[in-house]
């Protein structure tokens, strides 16, 4: 058992009293806090870009792309919060003389842990939902993105009083200290392995959890798909942020007679997007977050190669730049390490099928992924695959896009996550639905 530091304990005590004030706060009061947050992030957007370049070599667009969804979340809260907070009349039957309502009330103190791959967006987007629902928060930015962690702490300290939102910078030891507190709810984005640790810690206090985890996202290319577009899209999204995206396409299933053309288009797209004069372009590729993860991803390729996999392209890495070349592997044996672990690096595993049931059977045997992607021009094909598989979300004829629709919940299922957020779904996730009967 770890020791909880004095500052953690003191903030927890303060927030334990203040959470009742926040619970009773109005939509206007919550919105005022969020508008201040938005204004400070807007004022410091150039610093966001710089910090993300320093930690992950994200370009200007990638940096600003982490701020934009936070603004979108705030704007939606400003427009909708009064409606979301309004009690809902309920049918009191069998007590027909009575009155019944369902109210959304805050959960209390929320512990928030963020991942390092989108370290800014995935800290502040959940925080918007947490505040909108009237909670206090104790926040730990991710230690592997230290420039973003420092900036996020500065922003939080400028915008919020500690009794509302308190930030703590640190690594695993700090995370474990925070998990000792009898918190009301934990919002965790990270790996399934640590997700289990978080859930076990939550069980000690019966805290509720939102777990936004990862997995190996499968893609099925159907015979009716536009091969050129499908292959180019998959290639582009596999190497976003050098493959360090929880929603990246990873295991690609292609009809066997289409696979050569598919791989040729993928390789052409890799060259066009991620190479300059035949050399890996570090600015376009981004950076693997640290040496340990660089060795982990490179290790998947070396291990699969030793066990008989074919490296169709890429396969090498540049340790100085901490980039891995966009890689296609085929014939990967079942005992290769990459088959059982989320890659979180720019490796496409390409499998072929005669009958699509082979791909579906494989997907059914794997832990449920965060996303499934289908490329097809046949609606019956889509519905058939949807009926036989499960995943957090799905995009048909593109990758990742469902995450950008604020009107849909974003989250995983079982090993890829528990709970969902964005917009009203975030508000509901961070609220308790309380049934009230007046007799």
3-state secondary structure of 369: coil
Interhelix angle for 45-56 vs 60-85, to 10°?
A: 120
Inter-residue contact 437 to 112 (CB < 8 Å): no
Q: Out of 73, 177, 212, 342, which one is annotated catalytic? A: 212
Is 212 annotated as catalytic? yes
Q: Which is nearer to ligand NAD, 57 or 140 (CB)?
A: 140
Assigned token pair, 240: 């976003």
The rounded distance, in Å, linking the Cα atoms of 217 and 219 is: 7
Q: Which is nearer to ligand NAD, 339 or 384 (CB)?
A: 339
Q: How far is the CB of 367 from ligand NAD (least distance, A)?
A: 12
For ligand NAD, which residue has the nearest CB? 214
SS (H, E, C) 170-202: CCHHHHHHHHCCCCCEEEEECCHHHHHHHHHHH
Binding residues vs ligand NAD (CB under 6 A): 113, 115-118, 122, 140, 142-143, 171-172, 175-176, 189-191, 194, 197, 212-214, 246, 342, 344, 370, 412, 417
The rounded distance, in Å, linking the Cα atoms of 168 and 191 is: 20
Q: How far is the CB of 96 from ligand NAD (least distance, A)?
A: 45
Q: How far is the CB of 415 from ligand NAD (least distance, A)?
A: 10
Q: Which is nearer to ligand NAD, 222 or 342 (CB)?
A: 342
Cis peptide upstream of residue 103 (ω within 30 degrees of 0): no
The phi-psi region of residue 286 (left if phi > 0; otherwise alpha if psi is between -120 and 50; otherwise beta) is left
β-sheet bridge partners, residue 251 = 218, 349
Q: Which is nearer to ligand NAD, 31 or 145 (CB)?
A: 145
Q: What 8-state DSSP symbol labels residue 5?
A: P
Q: How far is the CB of 156 from ligand NAD (least distance, A)?
A: 15
Q: How far is the CB of 144 from ligand NAD (least distance, A)?
A: 6
Q: Which is nearer to ligand NAD, 70 or 225 (CB)?
A: 70
Q: Which is nearer to ligand NAD, 22 or 217 (CB)?
A: 217
Q: Which is nearer to ligand NAD, 254 or 363 (CB)?
A: 363
Q: Out of 73, 136, 177, 246, which one is annotated catalytic? A: 246
Backbone dihedral angles phi then psi of residue 89, each to the nearest 5 degrees: -65, 140
Q: How many residues does the chain have?
A: 439
| CA distance readout (Å), 160 to 32, 60, 133, 163, 181 | 11, 27, 16, 8, 21
Q: Which is it for strands 417-418 and 208-212: parallel, antiparallel or unpaired?
A: antiparallel
The rounded distance, in Å, linking the Cα atoms of 179 and 81 is: 30
Inter-residue contact 230 to 249 (CB < 8 Å): no
Q: Which is nearer to ligand NAD, 194 or 384 (CB)?
A: 194
Query: Would you tell me how many other CB atoms lie within 10 Å of the CB of residue 227?
Result: 17
Is 161 annotated as catalytic? no
Backbone dihedral angles phi then psi of residue 420, each to the nearest 5 degrees: -155, 165
DSSP per-residue string spanning 381-405 = HHHHHHHH---SEEEESSSSGGGG-
| CA distance readout (Å), 278 to 270, 281, 287 | 11, 9, 19
Q: What dihedral do alpha carbons 176, 182, 186, 192 form, nearest 10°?
A: 40
Q: How far is the CB of 202 from ligand NAD (least distance, A)?
A: 12
Q: How far is the CB of 191 from ligand NAD (least distance, A)?
A: 4
Q: How far is the CB of 249 from ligand NAD (least distance, A)?
A: 13
The rounded distance, in Å, linking the Cα atoms of 308 and 338 is: 13
Q: Which is nearer to ligand NAD, 154 or 180 (CB)?
A: 180
The rounded distance, in Å, linking the Cα atoms of 73 and 410 is: 13
Q: How far is the CB of 390 from ligand NAD (least distance, A)?
A: 15
Catalytic residue set: 212, 246
């Amino acid at each position: 058992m770890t020791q909880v530091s004095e500052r953690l304990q003191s903030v927890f005590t303060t927030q334990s009293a203040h959470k009742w004030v926040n619970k009773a706060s109005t939509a206007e009061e919550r919105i005022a806090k969020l508008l201040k947050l938005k204004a400070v992030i807007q004022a410091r957007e150039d610093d966001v870009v710089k910090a993300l370049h320093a930690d992950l070599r994200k370009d200007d667009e990638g940096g600003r792309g982490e701020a934009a969804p936070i603004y979108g979340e705030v704007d939606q809260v400003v427009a909708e919060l009064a409606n979301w907070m309004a009690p809902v009349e309920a049918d009191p039957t069998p007590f027909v003389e009575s009155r019944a309502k369902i109210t959304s009330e805050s959960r209390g103190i929320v512990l928030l842990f963020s991942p390092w791959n989108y370290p800014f967006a995935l800290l502040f987007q959940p925080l918007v939902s947490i505040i909108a629902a009237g909670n206090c928060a104790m926040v730990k930015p991710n230690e592997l993105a230290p420039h973003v962690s420092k900036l996020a702490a500065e922003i939080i300290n400028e915008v919020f009083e500690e009794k509302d939102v308190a930030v703590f910078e640190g690594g695993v030891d700090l995370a474990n200290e925070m998990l000792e507190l009898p918190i009301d709810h934990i919002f965790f984005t990270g790996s399934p392995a640590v997700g289990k640790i978080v859930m076990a810690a939550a069980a000690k206090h019966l805290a509720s959890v939102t777990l936004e985890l990862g997995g190996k996202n499968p893609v099925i290319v159907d015979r009716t798909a536009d091969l050129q577009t499908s292959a180019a899209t998959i290639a582009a999204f596999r190497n976003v942020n050098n493959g360090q995206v929880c929603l990246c396409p990873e295991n690609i299933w292609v009809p066997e007679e289409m696979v050569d053309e598919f791989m040729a288009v993928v390789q052409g797209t890799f060259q066009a997007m991620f190479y300059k004069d035949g050399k890996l372009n570090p600015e376009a590729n981004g950076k693997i977050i640290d040496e340990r993860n660089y060795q982990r991803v490179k290790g998947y390729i070396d291990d699969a190669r030793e066990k008989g996999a074919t490296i169709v392209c890429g396969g090498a890495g540049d340790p100085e730049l901490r980039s891995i070349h966009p890689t296609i592997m085929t014939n990967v044996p079942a005992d290769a390490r990459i088959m059982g672990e989320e890659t979180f690096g720019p490796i496409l595993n390409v499998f072929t099928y005669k009958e699509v049931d082979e791909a579906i059977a494989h997907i059914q045997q794997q832990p449920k992924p965060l996303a499934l992607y289908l490329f097809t021009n046949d609606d019956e094909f889509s519905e058939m695959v949807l009926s036989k598989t499960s995943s957090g979300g799905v995009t048909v004829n593109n990758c990742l896009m469902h995450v950008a629709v604020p009107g849909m919940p974003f989250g995983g299922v079982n090993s890829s996550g528990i709970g969902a957020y964005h917009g009203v779904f975030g508000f509901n996730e961070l609220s308790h639905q309380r049934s009230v009967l007046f007799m």
